[in-house]
Amino acid sequence: MNYSFLQFLTLFGSLSLFLFGMKTMSEGIQKLAGDKMRNILSAMTSNRFMGVLTGFLVTTLVQSSSASTVMFVSFVNAGLLNLTQAVGVIMGANIGTTTTAWIISLLGFKVSIATYSLPLIAISFPLLMMSRERLNSTGETLLGFALLFLGLEFLKNSVPDFNSNPEIFEALGRLTDYGFYTTLIFLGIGTLLTIVLQSSSATMALTLVMCANGWIGFEHGAAIVLGENIGTTITANLAALVGNNQAKRAALAHTLFNITGVIWMLIVFKPFVGQIDHYMVKAGMASPIASAAMVPIGLSIFHTAFNIINTLLLIGFLKYFVFVVEHILPPRGKRLERPQLEFFSSGFLQAAELTVFQAKKETKQFADLAHRMFNFIPAMIIETDKKEFEELRERVSKYEEITDRVEVEITTFFVKVSKNQLSGHASEELRRMRLVCAEIEKIGDVCYKMSTLLAKKKEEKVYFTPAQRSELFEMFKLTNDAFEQAIENLDKGDQFARQNLPRSIELEERINAFRDAVSEEVIEDIEKGVAHVKSAFYFNKLISSCEKIGDTLLNISEAVSGVNIE
C-alpha cells in the first residue's frame, strides 16, 4: 500500500485537531458552567443514584470520560467525595461518555458538520474578543465544537484508501477467523488505542470511521468499544499515582468496575450483539451486520445499552467494590505531619477550572497545621520535663520547615494552574488562596520565634509569675478563638466570611486591647518590683507575637471574603 509520511502526518494532524477541539470545548463548558458544576458536586450526597446522575451530567458536559474521571479522582484526593460517592459518580461517567458516539453517529455521518464548522468559527471568533467572560466562554465552546467536527471530517478523508488496497482487507479478514479469540483481539486493539490516545472519545471516533467505511464489522467495532472501557481507566490510574491512598482506591475501583462489566459482556457478547441487530431491524432500520452505514448507530446503541445495564447490574454491589479496593490498598498509618501536599498535585491539572476545590481544601489543611503548631507554644510553657520540652521544640521546628515547604509547593501549583485559561471567578479565588497561604506561612515563622524565645528563657532559668502565666493563657485563648474563626471562614467560603467579618474584626480588636492592657501592667509590675525584668521581657515578646498572629488571622479572613486585598 502506498501511504507516504506526509499522509501519515495529515492523519495524525486530523486526530490532533479532533482532540484539540474536544479540549477547547471542554474548557469552554467548564468556564461557562464551572460554578454550577461546583455547586452540583458540593451538594453531592451519599445517594448512589444521585452520584450516577452527577457523573453522567458532568461527563456529558465535558465530553470526555477520561477528563471527568480524573476530575472525580482528584475530588476524592481532595476529600470532597468519599470513596462510595466516587464509585457511583464514575459509574455515571461511563454512561455520560456514550453521548460522544451519538453526536458523531447522528451528526458527524448524517450531516456534513464541517460545512458549518467555518461559519461557527466565524461566530465564535468575535465572541472570543469580547471582554465579557460569559460571551468569551461561549465563543470558546463554539470554537471547540467546530474544530472537533472539522477534525472528524479531516479524519474521515485522511485515513488510508483501503478500497484500492485489498491486501488490507485480507489482513483484517485473517483477524476474524479465530472465533472468540477474534473478539479478544479487537478488544485488545480498543484498549491499546485508548491508552495511546488517552481518550476513549477519540478511539470511538476512529472506530466509527472504520465501521462507516466498511473496514471492520459491527461485532468487531463492538469489541473495540469494550476495549475502550478498559483503556480509559489508565488515565485515572496515572493521575492517581501522584495522589493519596483514597485517590488510588477510586482509580482502582474504576478499573475493577469496567473490567467486571467487560467480563460479563464477553460471556453474552454474541447474543447481545444479535439482539441489537434484531431490534434495529424490527424498528425499521437496516441491519448493522449487513449495512456498514448503520454500524455507527448500532455501535452507539451497543455502547449506551452496555454501560446502562452494567451500571444497573453493579450499582447494588457498590459497597463490595469499596471493600475490595480497601482490602487491596489498606490504609497507611495516619501522619500528623506532612512533608508535602495531600490534596492536589500536577497529575490533576486536566481539571484546571475546578482546582478551586482542591485549593481551598489544601489551604484549610495548611491553616489547621499552623493552628496545631501554635498550640505547641502553651504546651512548652507548662512543660517541666526537659526531654519533653525539647521534643516539643523540635516539633515546632519541624512544623516551621513544613510550612515553608508547603507554602512554596502551593504557590508553585497555583502558578501552574494559572497558566491554564480559567474563568475570572476561579482566577480570583486562586489569587485569594495564594494570599492566604502567604499569611499562614508568616504564622509558622512567628510560632518558631516564640519557641526559640521559650528555649532561651529556659536556658536562663527565667520563670513567669502566676499572674503572667494566667494572662498568657488568656491571650492564647483569644488567639485560638481568632484561629477557629479564620479556619471556619476558609472552610465555608467567601459569602460566610463576608457575613462574619465583623466577628473577625472584633476578635482582632480584643487581642489588640488585651495586648495594650497587659503591656501597661508589665511596666507597672517592673516599677513595683513584682516582676523580674527578664520575665517581663519574655512575657511581653510572647504577648506581642500573639498580637501579630491575630493581625495575620484577620488578613486571612479579609482575603477569603475578598475585602482589603492588596
Per-residue pLDDT of the chain (566 residues; tens, 9 = 90+): 555 778 778 878 887 887 787 677 767 766 665 555 555 555 554 567 777 887 887 777 665 666 666 666 656 765 556 777 778 888 888 888 777 767 766 665 544 555 677 888 899 888 888 877 778 888 888 888 788 777 767 766 675 554 455 455 445 545 556 667 788 888 888 888 777 765 676 677 777 777 777 777 788 888 988 998 888 787 677 657 656 677 788 888 889 989 999 999 999 998 998 888 888 888 888 888 877 778 888 888 898 899 899 988 888 888 888 889 888 888 654 444 444 455 554 444 445 555 666 777 788 888 999 999 999 999 999 988 889 999 999 999 989 888 888 888 777 777 777 666 666 777 788 888 888 999 999 999 999 999 999 999 999 888 888 888 899 999 999 999 999 999 999 888 888 999 999 999 999 999 999 998 888 777 776 656 655 778 888 888 999 999 999 999 999 999 998 876 55
Q: Three cell numbers at 6?
A: 506526509
| Total domain count, the chain | 2
Residue 500 host element (H or E)? none
In a domain, 336, yes or no: no
In a domain, 534, yes or no: yes
Domain end among 280, 313, 328: 328
The pLDDT assigned to 335 comes to: 44
Q: Three cell numbers at 279?
A: 431490534
Alpha helices by DSSP H, listed for 342-499, are 355-374, 376-382, 386-418, 424-459, 466-492, 494-499
Cβ atoms 87, 250 nearer than 8 A = yes
Residues 105 and 58 in one domain: yes
Comparing C-alpha atoms, which of 88, 150, 89, 95 is closest to residue 119? Answer: 150
In a domain, 307, yes or no: yes
Query: What single letter denotes the amino acid at residue 442?
Result: K
In a domain, 349, yes or no: no
Residues 363 and 253 in one domain: no
Residues 378 and 278 in one domain: no
In a domain, 338, yes or no: no
In a domain, 337, yes or no: no
Residues 362 and 314 in one domain: no
Query: What single letter denotes the amino acid at residue 562?
Result: G
Residues 9 and 93 in one domain: yes
Query: For the packed helices 200-212 and 65-77, what is the interaxial angle rounded to 10 degrees?
Result: 160
Distance CA 512, CA 519 (A): 11
Residues 385 and 272 in one domain: no
Residues 403 and 291 in one domain: no
Q: Chain-centre distance of CA 360, in angstroms?
A: 12
Domain end among 283, 312, 328: 328
Domain end among 328, 345, 377: 328
Query: What's the maximum distance between 2 C-alpha atoms anywhere in the chain?
Result: 108
CATH of the domain at 393: 1.20.58.220
Distance CA 528, CA 236 (A): 70
Residues 402 and 545 in one domain: yes
Residues 421 and 316 in one domain: no
Distance CA 307, CA 91 (A): 8
Q: Please list, in sequence order, all residues whose beta carbon lies within 8 angstroms of the beta carbon of residue 431, skipping any fewer than 6 positions away.
A: 565
Residues 85 and 233 in one domain: yes
Q: Please list, in sequence order, all residues whose beta carbon lies within 8 angstroms of the beta carbon of residue 351, skipping any fewer than 6 positions away.
A: 30, 67, 70, 71, 74
Comparing C-alpha atoms, which of 84, 78, 38, 88 is closest to residue 61? Answer: 38
Comparing C-alpha atoms, which of 406, 281, 428 is closest to residue 353? Answer: 428
Distance CA 28, CA 489 (A): 30
Neighbours of 5 (CB within 10 A): 7
Residues 236 and 90 in one domain: yes
Residues 388 and 521 in one domain: yes
Distance CA 243, CA 347 (A): 8
Instruction: Please count the helices (runs of H) and the strands (runs of E) in the chain.
Output: 24, 0
In a domain, 371, yes or no: yes
Comparing C-alpha atoms, which of 204, 221, 193 is closest to residue 22? Answer: 204
Distance CA 269, CA 224 (A): 12
Residue 333 host element (H or E)? none
Domain that holds residue 222: 5-328
Cβ atoms 350, 241 nearer than 8 A = no
In a domain, 342, yes or no: no
